[in-house]
Structure 1
Amino acid sequence: MAPPSSSDHPAAAAVEAAGAISKVLIVIAMQTEALPLVNKFQLVEAPTDESVFPKGAPWTRFHGNYKGLHIDLVWPGKDPVLGVDSVGTVSAALVTYASIQLLKPDLIINAGTAGGFKAKGAGIGDVFLATDVAFHDRRIPIPVFDSYGIGARKTFATPNIVKELSLKVGKLSTGDSLDMSPHDESAILSNDATIKDMEGAAVAYVADMFSTPAIFVKAVTDIVDGEKPTAEEFLQNLIAVTMALDVAVTKVVDFISGKCISEL
């Protein structure tokens, strides 16, 4: 991802040359998280027979125009066998890859819910803008491969968004499990993470590959180092926290409207 200065990002230079940001891609993991934003931005679902995605892919795309921006919102859809949201790094990476290739966004927003660590200042309903991302469950104990597995990278710097919207900031750690094993806990501590999710670092990996600026807006549904079981607390808070996520993402998009990439 980008170094601290946004203007140094190779994709930023290309977008800057074209003027104001015009195409925003929102990548989101769950239908419950996606639908409030679909309604807020008055997006319409692309019919199956007009889908830009390959035949057979369960990925869903909503699109429309909002305050001078063309917004595409994509989510990986439902597992065709089990009927649950296709969460996790594989689905997130695939739909991000396809969306970058086919929709060519100026900027990606990966929005979603996350677990938070009270020891790092996170509370239920807090919304964070991730400053860094890394994986915590790709353990490859071989020199250099170990760093590849962690995949630590800076996110695209947006100091003006942070200042204007008074969002919390913190490092994000990503893995494919909702719970936290002792191995994962050790890796998350090494990543110095404030929040953990199941998609962010995978989206960042693909965005980095194709030099597309990406930012990560995460709302806390459960306290990982708290007393309640993670799954129970996640389900208990999902709807209410999704509303907080909806408000935060709307404010971010409102801020982006009419601005160049260097103004973020």
Structure 2
Amino acid sequence: MAPLHDEKAADDSTQRPISNILFIIAMQTEASPLVNKFKLAEEPDSVFPKGVPWVRYNGKYKDLNINIVCPGKDTTLGVDCVGTVSASLLAYASIQALQPDLIINAGTAGGFKAKGASIGDVFLASDVAFHDRRIPIPVFDLYGVGCRKTFSTPNLAKELNLKVGKLSTGDSLDICAEDEAAILANDATIKDMEGAAIAYVGHLLNVPVLFLKAVTDIIDGDKPTSEEFLQNLNAVTIALDLAATKVVDFINGKSCSEL
């Protein structure tokens, strides 16, 4: 299907200097280096509903107010609340409470070597779509895939020499045959568990979203995904930290239209 253009994010607000950036990051391991890099402090007085495990860090970096939010740990099992449900809820609540000019969904992802991805590569997503929302009814099928263009940042991609590719999102770490076929149909280079959900919320609430994804595992490689992900997580998070810092440095002093 043809991607939906995020026309709502291309209004006059893109001409104002960016002052308020919101990072949405699924795992604490992915967030911690950036929290330290930007010298952010955890906010004990939560702007979120009582009882949710969501965590917020805030501070100033150069001319920017930066918030990093994470969905936190599952209150029963103690693991990171990954996936589309937590991501979409957190994105909605954070936009309402913090009123960001720009969202950056930073995190790790699987990559396809057949599409040019290698361990440690950092990609900007040009398009996002779901691969596990199968609704085989006319028009509902297109809604399920939810393919849309992301907020365009050609100057940022060129200046930082970042790879650009399409992102496919689903709630499972592994891939069944149906998911694999859908990912191929999405022409995806990278795969995650949150991106398209955050894109949907950003589109609804008229906030531009960038997707910065570092490759931890090669989906079409010869190693089990879970094993390769855990093996590379810490090292790849360092690459993500460096790329995200460069992105924020580039953004400082610019409007969305200059990205």
Aligned residue in 2 for 1:27: 24
- Counterparts of 2:221 and 2:8 in 1: how far apart (Å)? 41
Among all aligned residue pairs of Structure 1 and Structure 2, give the percentage whose two residues are the same amino acid.
Answer: 71
Aligned residue in 2 for 1:41: 38
User: Equivalences for 1:56-95 in 2 at 5 Å?
Assistant: 56-95=51-90
Write out per-residue CA displacement over residues 81-109 of structure 1, whole angstroms, 9 at most, x where no aligned residue.
Answer: 00000000000000000000110000000
DSSP-derived class of the 1:219 partner: strand
Measured after TM superposition, the shift of residue 13 of structure 1 is: 2.8
Asked if 1:102 corresponds to 2:100, the answer is no
DSSP-derived class of the 2:11 partner: helix
* Preserved CA contact (<8 Å) 2:167 2:192: yes
- Counterparts of 1:164 and 1:9 in 2: how far apart (Å)? 24
Asked if 1:153 corresponds to 2:148, the answer is yes
- Counterparts of 2:4 and 2:239 in 1: how far apart (Å)? 27
* Preserved CA contact (<8 Å) 2:9 2:203: no
Moved over 4 A (4+): none
- Counterparts of 2:7 and 2:197 in 1: how far apart (Å)? 19
Aligned residue in 2 for 1:188: 183
User: Equivalences for 1:193-232 in 2 at 5 Å?
Assistant: 193-232=188-227
- Counterparts of 1:77 and 1:83 in 2: how far apart (Å)? 9
Write out per-residue CA displacement over residues 171-204 of structure 1, whole angstroms, 9 at most, x where no aligned residue.
Answer: 0000000001000000000000000000000000
* Preserved CA contact (<8 Å) 1:15 1:21: no
Asked if 1:118 corresponds to 2:113, the answer is yes
Decide whether aligned partners of structure 1 residues 65 and 9 sit closer, same or farther in structure 2, where only a CA change above 3 A counts: farther
Measured after TM superposition, the shift of residue 38 of structure 1 is: 0.1
* Runs of 5+ unmatched residues, structure 1: none
* Runs of 5+ unmatched residues, structure 2: none
DSSP-derived class of the 1:231 partner: helix
* Preserved CA contact (<8 Å) 2:9 2:151: no
Measured after TM superposition, the shift of residue 261 of structure 1 is: 1.1
* Preserved CA contact (<8 Å) 1:127 1:245: yes
- Normalized against structure 2, the TM-score is what? 0.97
Cα RMSD (Å) of the superposition? 1.2
Amino acid at match of 2:13: V
Measured after TM superposition, the shift of residue 9 of structure 1 is: 4.1
Amino acid at match of 1:199: E
Write out per-residue CA displacement over residues 224-263 of structure 1, whole angstroms, 9 at most, x where no aligned residue.
Answer: 0000000000000000000000000000000000001110
DSSP-derived class of the 2:127 partner: strand
- Counterparts of 2:73 and 2:132 in 1: how far apart (Å)? 24
Amino acid at match of 2:81: S
1:138 corresponds, among 133, 140, 150, to 133
* Preserved CA contact (<8 Å) 1:45 1:60: yes
User: How many residues are aligned here?
Assistant: 257
Write out per-residue CA displacement over residues 98-141 of structure 1, whole angstroms, 9 at most, x where no aligned residue.
Answer: 00011000000000000000000000000000000000000000
- Counterparts of 1:31 and 1:131 in 2: how far apart (Å)? 25
* Preserved CA contact (<8 Å) 2:4 2:147: no
Amino acid at match of 2:34: L
* Preserved CA contact (<8 Å) 2:111 2:215: yes
